[in-house]
Structure 1
């Protein structure tokens, strides 16, 4: 698997405007066995948009963060902008690829979509296994989206939003069943919102009190709810997100420990070294050597 050199940051690929419709917020592409060779997908990268890929038939392997996935038929793969992705090789693909931006979700008619579990992705998931009935439903909704996508006009955005709301709501129900097995209560929603804020601010904010201030609640109440619903202290969620990002950089890049530490908001590289060892049981250098050896 390709890794980035010490001089290469993890690239962030921007959203590309659809050449047919000119849309800058939403694209949909169906594939019937095409083999598209995109060299830039064979290096570790992030996407500056949300990606949903319904795989009707495909073989091959790709990575999301430090986990590999052997692609399966009748499965939905999804990613959010912060995840690190890399494909091992191009392979023929039958299915549908749907992308949309944060700006699309910011439109008034789409505002509620931002709070759906699939969009918040608190478990850093990527793969949804579908039953035959679920696969049929997803295909039907994608067909409706595709039909509307090819009909630009005054009502297009509203229709796309309506169909996408149904699709993402259905997938979010499957997400909660697969990853948590429970419906979201008010306290569970607070936990998800806290996790979403961590996703946005973990480089700058390392204290629970800073997140509580953003959510307009006391640090004590936030800590109590987070501990009750997740079984872990609130500060542990912050630390786990920092460790996840550190592991991504240690695995996919050759960046120095000092560069990684400063990019994650640590003013002292030696403190970052102690923090990482405390959280993982290994120093950053030890972790990098071990993980690279495992996948050579």
Structure 2
């Protein structure tokens, strides 16, 4: 059940970093590797890309967009990515794993808005001041990345802390800068648990136990904060993943059903139709029509 039908790309080691937890990409001109074009995939790591010039089109889950110049894009694990076309690309990318963020006592970075991404964003617009700051910081990261030594990882971790903190400030300003109440924080923790365990657990009671509260209290808070029942959040996450797999892969329905924790394919079909109004097969046929 834990085997993901969509290919998952890990960080490959290079001459500068051998632990597979941090990597710097820098492209100018034509994209050097076109093997990923039109291949749906996920990454097992985070990626932040500063785009200076681009003429490419991509998909994140079922949403397509054109890369814009002077913009920072950020992607997390589990999202399904498709690179539809790449004409010109001038960018610097910083890729890192969850484990790297936990090095040297920096596990608090996992709670930054950019990493948690409560509003499911993927782009940050930059002012001229932002561009100067980020450019200078990226140059320091690139220089340190190419300089092996005992202090390399500590320095990269320090620079990454500054970068993520700065971008998180932009995130809160561009998406929503309000402080979260205790109830809102519970909603985010509930959603995070669903993201982690939606394959194994489909009931509110299971998540209430993980959060050490009663199912009734959890249901009341989630309904008041989101406007929909707690069980609906679980169902929506299952439907999102089902849509990703139906849209991006040709895997049989029984395999998708099993991957999502359903032991009975017929029950999965009824569940999907109840939630979307279409059978899984009909949804796959309908959405495939959007491809040119």
Q: Answer yes or no: is 1:159 the counterpart of 2:158.
A: no
Instruction: Tell me, in whole angstroms, the C-alpha distance in 2 between the residues paired with 1:184 and 1:144.
Output: 33
Q: Answer yes or no: is 1:37 the counterpart of 2:27.
A: no
Tell me the SS of whatever aligns to 2:154: helix
Q: Answer yes or no: is 1:126 the counterpart of 2:130.
A: no
Instruction: Tell me, in whole angstroms, the C-alpha distance in 2 between the residues paired with 1:134 and 1:198.
Output: 34
C-alpha displacement at 1:34, in angstroms? 4.5
Tell me the SS of whatever aligns to 2:36: helix
Instruction: Tell me, in whole angstroms, the C-alpha distance in 1 between the residues paired with 2:130 and 2:34.
Output: 30
Q: Deviations over 1:182-212 (max 9, x none)?
A: 3333333332222222111111111122112
Unmatched 5+ residue regions in structure 1? 1-7
C-alpha displacement at 1:84, in angstroms? 0.8
Q: Answer yes or no: is 1:244 the counterpart of 2:234.
A: no
Instruction: Tell me, in whole angstroms, the C-alpha distance in 2 between the residues paired with 1:157 and 1:221.
Output: 43
Moved more, 242-251 or 119-128: 119-128
Q: Structure 1 residues 221 and 135 mapped into 2: Cα distance closer, same or farther (>3 Å)?
A: farther
TM-score by length of 2: 0.90
Instruction: Tell me, in whole angstroms, the C-alpha distance in 2 between the residues paired with 1:223 and 1:164.
Output: 37
Q: Answer yes or no: is 1:62 the counterpart of 2:58.
A: yes
The answer on whether the counterparts of 1:122 and 1:195 sit within 8 Å (CA) in structure 2 is no
TM-score by length of 1: 0.89
Instruction: Tell me, in whole angstroms, the C-alpha distance in 2 between the residues paired with 1:161 and 1:187.
Output: 32
In structure 2, the partner of 1:256 is: 252
C-alpha displacement at 1:108, in angstroms? 4.5
Q: Structure 1 residues 122 and 90 mapped into 2: Cα distance closer, same or farther (>3 Å)?
A: same
190, 193, 196: which one aligns with 1:197: 193
For these two proteins, the number of residue pairs brought into alignment is 289
Q: Deviations over 1:25-53 (max 9, x none)?
A: 11112223343133134311111111111
The answer on whether the counterparts of 2:6 and 2:249 sit within 8 Å (CA) in structure 1 is yes
Instruction: Tell me, in whole angstroms, the C-alpha distance in 2 between the residues paired with 1:231 and 1:133.
Output: 39
Moved more, 47-56 or 192-201: 192-201
Instruction: Tell me, in whole angstroms, the C-alpha distance in 1 between the residues paired with 2:216 and 2:139.
Output: 48
1:1-296 counterparts in 2 under 5 A?
A: 9-296=5-292
C-alpha displacement at 1:133, in angstroms? 2.6
The answer on whether the counterparts of 2:25 and 2:94 sit within 8 Å (CA) in structure 1 is yes
Instruction: Tell me, in whole angstroms, the C-alpha distance in 2 between the residues paired with 1:197 and 1:18.
Output: 34
Instruction: Tell me, in whole angstroms, the C-alpha distance in 2 between the residues paired with 1:133 and 1:41.
Output: 34
Tell me the SS of whatever aligns to 2:118: coil
What is the aligned-residue RMSD (CA, Å)? 2.1
The answer on whether the counterparts of 1:36 and 1:92 sit within 8 Å (CA) in structure 2 is no
Q: Structure 1 residues 253 and 229 mapped into 2: Cα distance closer, same or farther (>3 Å)?
A: same
C-alpha displacement at 1:250, in angstroms? 0.9
C-alpha displacement at 1:166, in angstroms? 2.0
The answer on whether the counterparts of 1:36 and 1:90 sit within 8 Å (CA) in structure 2 is no
Q: Structure 1 residues 127 and 40 mapped into 2: Cα distance closer, same or farther (>3 Å)?
A: same
C-alpha displacement at 1:177, in angstroms? 3.5
Q: Structure 1 residues 137 and 221 mapped into 2: Cα distance closer, same or farther (>3 Å)?
A: farther
